[in-house]
Structure 1
Amino acid sequence: MAATSLSLQIDARWRAATTPPDRPCGMEDIETASSSVVIVRGKEADGSGFWVTPSIVMTNNHVVDHNPDLKVGKDFPATVLATDSVRDIALLSVPNVYPEPVPLRGIEEMPRLADDLYVIGHPIGRNLTVSKGIVSALTNDDYDDRQYIQTDAAISSGSSGGPVVDRCGRVVGMATQTLRGAENVGYAIAWSQLSSHMDRMLKVVEGSSPEERELTYPSDQTEVVAKYYSTLGAGELAEAYDFYSASRKARLPYESWAQGLGKTVFIRLVSVTPGDKSNSVKVHFYSTEEVNAETWEWRTGEFEGTWTLTREGGLWKMNESNIKDITKPTTSP
């Protein structure tokens, strides 16, 4: 499939439509925005999403990751176009939808504290709901440039990937997570971040190889490494091993590699960034493994280093690694 057929160009009219209507904003605008929100169904889980062009839906990466047989709405098959695992963004290609979807408008300006917000989505895979709240805080990630909007509006399971809009129906963010153990504490990725990274992701797709498009394989080297770790953390060892080059597989047979992993149960990526060389990627992550199942003993280590990738069959494959354990020793009380 040619890249041009994926309708990658962002609609200029949607780009320009960032100003509120001439009349006062109200519930009519929220209702209009709701019509551009969809349910994203998969074999393993459901989530929410919204149209950013007439043929592209934005949602969370964790909604589509390891979740085959994706559909938007009831009947429209969806293909993963591009993902950003670290920032939890995914773009889905959904062609030939009729009537043509209306993309949501976004606003680059960050909301202010105590501004009204509306979370629109499909909690637990059910009917569309709208939850009202306010901006409780504006926060930054501890490790990089990620910006989040904290809100007390309800963000339930299944609402992930849905838009967070202002009273004019403009997207200010995308619902991504809630804080476990706390009531009315939810987070949204700021639209200014979503917009800039969407542009970058689409440009990468435009330059992808036929093999990458056919296999929906990441065409960005950093995303190849990120997908490797998310796949490894999901326990899908055979799929993770397939990110290795033929040369690395020859040096490290699957059985030896799998046995050497121990009982890793969770991997949290902190950052995945381009390395100093054109085919290298820097990574920083935490890995938790089971020490004793009977006593529920776990151990978490911190790691960072570099991967070198090689081009193989039109795909980027992970070839050499230099990963170091930088875990700080625990001190006795």
Structure 2
Amino acid sequence: MSDSSTSARSLEDVVARVLPAVASIQAGSGRGTGFFVRSDSLLTNAHVVGSESTVRIQTAAKQYQGRVVRLSPGTDLALIQVYNADPQQPYLSLGSGRSVRAGQEVIAVGFALGVLSNTVTRGIVSALRTTRSVLLIQTDAAINPGNSGGPLVDRDGTVVGVNSMRVNGAQGSEGLAFAVAIDHGTELLQGNAPLTAAATPAQDLNRMMNGSSETSDLRERGETEYRRTLEQAVRSAAQIDDYWDRYSKSCLVSAARVGDRSWFAVFEPNGVRIVATSAYNCETWLGEVRTAAEGIRTALVAASETGRRHGVYPGVMRDLRRQHRLDWTGWER
């Protein structure tokens, strides 16, 4: 009885020490988790920040702005520097993924779905895996969307990995969770050259588990290209968002709700109605929105067609669009 309660308190103490150093990361329309490794620096996943150069950071106590200073796609890690850092900001001690053993208890901390703070899951280390030169920690601790980029810590609260991915098993078997060993994060902090690779650790693992083939490789390349097109489109969409919001209150009578962004209404026949008279030239405003929106539509339609030719599943493309707030009811018509 005494041993059980001591263990429970010990786990709660570890979590209480770790949580103040964990933050939600918002990069454009994407969200994930990061954690402070110095009072002015955080680590997260490269796929969390995507192509964004600046991010918003939210801890339990403070908000910060930051910039991506180092990116390592080959290890799926990114280093963020904080503007106007608080010298008192708690940060975590870094250990080594090479020191963990199968059966060792670990704790994954993050923001599930990018918004649910203080998400803590406990599990054990199942194995250490190496893909190319990247050391990965396989664990049964749940790593869910939004948890990506959070710390995987041992029972001392020392970081041993960066929660990174869940990979589907072959033939419908249960997915497996992996963290990138913190050793790669330490190298990034020390200024070592980022690892560049044609494939991410998740892609390499999928090949290992499901078997590589010409078809699967083609599908993977198609998915990568589709994601790249979406990242470019998001930057243009943000500019349209700003222009739409600036004049819609003065010019707009109604707009059909047909997708993730209000101005997607311009894609629909008679989807937008504007006022007849206004202090602003609303016809010109709407025409410019239509022109800019058409550029995004043309790019995404072409990317979808290329994705289909490469064998990318429609559901995968739909999920990627939703992640980037670029879904519209008309994409699959």
Give the TM-score, by structure 1 length.
0.54
> Could you give the per-residue CA deviations for residues 110-141 of structure 1, whole angstroms, max 9, x where no partner exists?
21001000000000121221100000111110
How far does residue 235 in structure 1 lie from its aligned partner after superposition? 4.0
Rounded to whole Å, the distance in 1 between the matches of 2:101 and 2:10 is: 17
CA distance in 2 between partners of 1:133 and 1:238 (Å): 34
1:76 equivalent in structure 2: 64
Partner of 1:27: 12
1:66 alignment counterpart = 51
User: What is the CA-CA distance between 1:290 and the residue it aligns to?
Assistant: 3.4
1:135 aligns with 2:120: no
Please give the alpha-carbon distance, in whole angstroms, between the structure 2 residues aligned to 1:99 and 1:197: 21
| Residue 112 (structure 2) aligned to one of 123, 134, 141 | 123
The answer on whether the counterparts of 2:73 and 2:196 sit within 8 Å (CA) in structure 1 is yes
Structure 1 vs Structure 2 CA RMSD:
3.7
Distance 1:174 1:238 in 2: 23
Distance 1:238 1:90 in 2: 17
Tell me by how many angstroms 1:192 deviates: 1.9
Q: Which has the higher strand share?
A: 1
Cα deviation, 1:115-172, whole Å, max 9, x if unaligned, reads 000000000121221100000111110xx21110000011110000000000000001
C-alpha separation in 1, matches of 2:69 and 2:163:
20
Match of 1:110 among 99, 104, 116: 99
Give the length in aligned residue pairs.
210
Aligned residues with identical type, % of pairs: 27
2:146 equivalent in structure 1: 158
Equivalence for 1:306:
none
Map of 1:234 onto structure 2: 227
Residues 235 and 292 (structure 1), Cα distance of their counterparts in 2 relative to 1, 3 Å cut: closer
Deviation at 1:85, TM superposition (A): 1.0
TM-score, normalising length: structure 2: 0.54
| Residue pair 1:87, 1:146 contacting (<8 A) in 2 also | yes
Matched, 1:55 2:37: no
Cα pair 1:161 1:176 within 8 Å, conserved: yes
**2-structure distance, mates of 1:116, 1:224:** 31
Structure 1 residues 49-98: Cα deviation after superposition (integer angstroms, max 9, x where no partner): 00011111100000001347620006311111110011101011112233
- Relative to 1, partners in 2 of residues 1:265 and 1:52: Cα closer, same or farther, differing over 3 Å? farther
Cα deviation for residue 185 of structure 1 reads 2.0
Larger radius of gyration: 2
Asked whether 1:192 is paired with 2:174, we answer no
Q: Answer whether contact 2:50 2:231 (CA < 8 A) is retained.
A: no
Counterpart AA for 1:111:
V
Query: Could you tell me how far 1:265 is from its partner in structure 2?
Result: 6.8
CA contact (8 A) 1:42 1:71 kept: yes
**Helix, strand or coil for the counterpart of 1:33?**
helix
Q: Which residue of 2 aligns with 1:41?
A: 26
Instruction: Tell whether the 8 Å contact from 1:173 to 1:188 is kept in structure 2 after alignment.
Output: yes
What SS is found at the alignment partner of 1:122? strand
Shift of 1:238: 10
Q: Is there any run of 5+ residues in structure 1 with no aligned partner, and where?
A: 1-23, 205-219, 241-262, 267-287, 297-333
- Paired residue secondary structure (1:90): strand
3-state SS of 1:193 partner:
helix
User: Match for 2:164: what amino acid?
Assistant: T
Q: 2:101 is aligned with what amino acid?
A: R
Whichever residue aligns with residue 43 of structure 2, its letter is M
1:81, 1:49 → 2: CA distance? 14
Following superposition, the deviation at residue 25 of structure 1 comes to 5.9
For residue 291 of structure 1, the aligned residue among 282, 301, 309 is 309
Change (3 A) 1:173 1:292: closer
Cα pair distance change 1:135/1:184, threshold 3 Å: farther
**What is the rounded CA distance, in whole Å, between the counterparts of 1:224 and 1:188 in structure 2?**
18
Displacement after TM superposition at 1:100 (Å): 2.4
Q: Is the 8 A contact 1:152 1:184 kept in 2?
A: no
- Unaligned residue ranges in structure 2 (runs of 5+): 1-8, 201-220, 234-301, 315-333
Contact 1:44/1:68 (<8 A) preserved: no
- Structure with greater helix share of residues: 2
Partner amino acid for 1:156? Answer: N
